[in-house]
Amino acid sequence: MRHIFEKGGDLHAPTLVLFHGTGGTEHDLLPLATLVSPKSPILSLRGDVLENGMPRFFKRISEGVFDEEDLVFRTKEVNEFLNQSAKEYGFDRDNLVAIGYSNGANIIASLLFHYQNVFRGAILHHPMIPLRGIQLPDLSDVTIFIGAGKNDPICSPRETAELQSLLRDSGAVVRVHWENNGHQLIYNEAKAAAIWFREKFQNQPDHEQEGGQYNE
């Protein structure tokens, strides 16, 4: 897969694995990674699927309707790529935190749905439920941040709540951060994710947010 790897300044910090949204590239979320954990190693991926020339991580039939067969295939492909990259670049495979937006958040969710211990944590900006009717692995060692919009036309608050329940029922600790916006990723949401990361992975206490609400 086309990607960027940056070694980072702290080899003990979690490696951030970045997944862009539809039409994005491996460069899109680098500023977000810097906001979340400036010294972390970074592995940023570009999706292999093209939809009208726009990179994605898996095919879809229409907006909000996934090609489930391709999703399962691409999920396996990404998991294998992470295993290979850990060997190639020497980062700790058991110390990964994924960050994704929209389509990128959906492929992360699919990885969590299919593989135990694929990530220590995940920041999902405006994700959907990747698949229904499957048994999730034990996620009791995983902590997850979901950024959601109360007026998101693509990912409804009901779907966000259902995804939160599915992840929690499998043992994950899940925090949902709500904004009054739509599907776009705004700064307050990104900042809330960065504060969550410091609390969970750098043992720094949480602070009151500017805007938005937490539900954990």
Residue 207, in any domain of the structure: no
Contact 7, 44 (CB under 8 A): no
User: What share of the chain in percent tops pLDDT 90?
Assistant: 90
| CATH number for the domain harbouring residue 122 | 3.40.50.1820
The stretch 136-157 carries a mean pLDDT of: 97
The pTM of the full predicted model, rounded to 2 decimals, is: 0.94
Distance CA 133, CA 147 (A): 24
Q: So what's the pLDDT on residue 71?
A: 97
The stretch 153-167 carries a mean pLDDT of: 96
In the chain, the largest separation of any two C-alpha atoms, in whole Å, equals: 44
Residue 111 has pLDDT above 80, yes or no: yes
Catalytic residues: 102, 152, 183
The residue assigned the tokens 């750098």 is 202
Classified as helix, coil or strand, 75 is: helix
Residue 208, in any domain of the structure: no
Residue 213, in any domain of the structure: no
Q: So what's the pLDDT on residue 206?
A: 54
Cα torsion 166, 75, 50, 6: sign: positive
Residue 168 has pLDDT above 50, yes or no: yes
| Count of structural domains, the chain | 1
Residue 212, in any domain of the structure: no
Distance CA 184, CA 190 (A): 11
The stretch 102-112 carries a mean pLDDT of: 98
Name the residue among 37, 56, 44, 58 with its Cα closest to residue 6: 44
Residue 87, in any domain of the structure: yes
Q: So what's the pLDDT on residue 203?
A: 75
Structure token pair of residue 198: 């410091």
pLDDT tens readout for residues 54-73: 999 999 998 878 999 999 99
Which residue range forms the structural domain that includes residue 84? Answer: 3-202
Amino acid residing at 134? I
CA angle 154, 43, 193 (to 5 degrees): 50
Residue 125, in any domain of the structure: yes
CA 92 to chain centre: 18
- Sorted by sequence, the CB contacts under 8 Å of residue 73 that are 6+ apart come out as 58
Residue 210, in any domain of the structure: no
Give the chain's mean pLDDT.
94
Residue 214, in any domain of the structure: no
pLDDT tens readout for residues 113-130: 999 999 999 999 999 999
Minimum mean pLDDT range among 103-117, 128-142, 198-212: 198-212
Name the residue among 113, 41, 101 with its Cα closest to residue 74: 113
Q: So what's the pLDDT on residue 214?
A: 53
pLDDT tens readout for residues 90-101: 999 999 999 999
The stretch 133-158 carries a mean pLDDT of: 96
Residue 81 has pLDDT above 70, yes or no: yes
